[in-house]
Amino acid sequence: MNEEEKAVLKAVIESVVGDYVYKAGSARAIEFTEERLREIGMLLAGEKDRKVISQVTGRIKSADSIYKKIRRKNYPADRSGVLRCNDLLGVRMVCLFVDDVYEVAERLKNQTDIHILKEKDYIRKPKSNGYMSLHLIIEVPVSLREDKQGDSDKVREDEEIQWRKVEVQLRTAAMDFWSVLDHQLVYKKEFPGAESVGKELKEYAATIWELDKNMLQLRKKIEHLNI
């Protein structure tokens, strides 16, 4: 891609970001997803009498990050390329235990008012660098009202709605620790020695997985003792 093409792509992204990504509907889609996850977490916490979700956070992908992704993935340098990015809107949910990650995911998949478009299980099948997380690409309904009124979680039947794609990343606190550090230090970065650093980080991912399994076993042991 030459400089002129890069500039055209940047301009296209800026315009899509302005007229679609940064519109209020995006914030509402994130809010809807966050609220639904918190609700699921609260219900599970009540049933299990312990904390299940430790953190839920949402973000809208920055124009710069969209630009880099389109180039990395060789997507078309136009609006369709931007809309092919599944993670323009993202919500991350962190659980304490790995079985909770799957239980929350199952409950989310059973919600009747959202669509599940895609699932990628990087926990059962981690990425080659060690990254672990369960990804769900979902579609949530948002009202097209400019002025938000009432509960963002409820879309009235007579309202005009738009379906917005959200990438939900579900993982344990230990996996989150690893991936946040990986993102800061290594992911998508090129530097001398990156290969050996990546190798070391992959070993730590294996340690993280052992720790997650041990903590789960410990919790089950305690639950068994308390019966």
Instruction: Tell me the CA distances in angstroms from 59 to 25, 33, 139, one per residue in order.
Output: 13, 11, 16
Number of residues lying near ligand 0O2 (CB under 6 A): 14
User: Using the rule CB under 6 A, is 65 a contact of ligand 0O2?
Assistant: yes
Which ranges of the chain does DSSP label H, i.e. alpha helix?
3-16, 24-48, 63-73, 79-83, 98-109, 173-185, 194-225
As measured in angstroms, the least distance from the Cβ of 49 to ligand 0O2 is 33
Residue with Cβ nearer ligand 0O2 (127 or 221): 127
CB 126 within 8 A of CB 203: no
How far is the CA of 214 from the CAs of 47, 173, 207, in angstroms? 23, 14, 10
Q: Is 179 in the site for ligand 0O2 (CB under 6 A)?
A: yes
Query: Rounded to the nearest whole angstrom, what is the least distance from the CB of residue 178 to ligand 0O2 in the complex?
Result: 8
Only one of the segments 108-116, 123-131, 190-198, 210-218 lies at the binding site for ligand 0O2 (rule: CB under 6 A); that segment is: 123-131
Among 28, 61, 164, 165, binds ligand 0O2 (CB under 6 A): 61
Asked if residue 32 binds ligand 0O2 (CB under 6 A), the reply is no
Q: Is 165 near ligand 0O2 (CB under 6 A)?
A: no
Q: How far is the CB of 136 from ligand 0O2 (least distance, A)?
A: 10
Residue of 101, 144, 147 whose CA lies nearest to 122:
101
Burial status of residue 156 (CB atoms within 10 A of its CB: 0-12, 13-18, 19 or more): exposed
Backbone dihedral angles phi then psi of residue 61, each to the nearest 5 degrees: -65, 140
Told to check if 69 binds ligand 0O2 by CB under 6 A, we report yes
Which parts of this chain interact with ligand 0O2 (CB under 6 A)? 61, 65, 69, 86-87, 120, 127, 129, 131, 135, 179, 182-183, 187
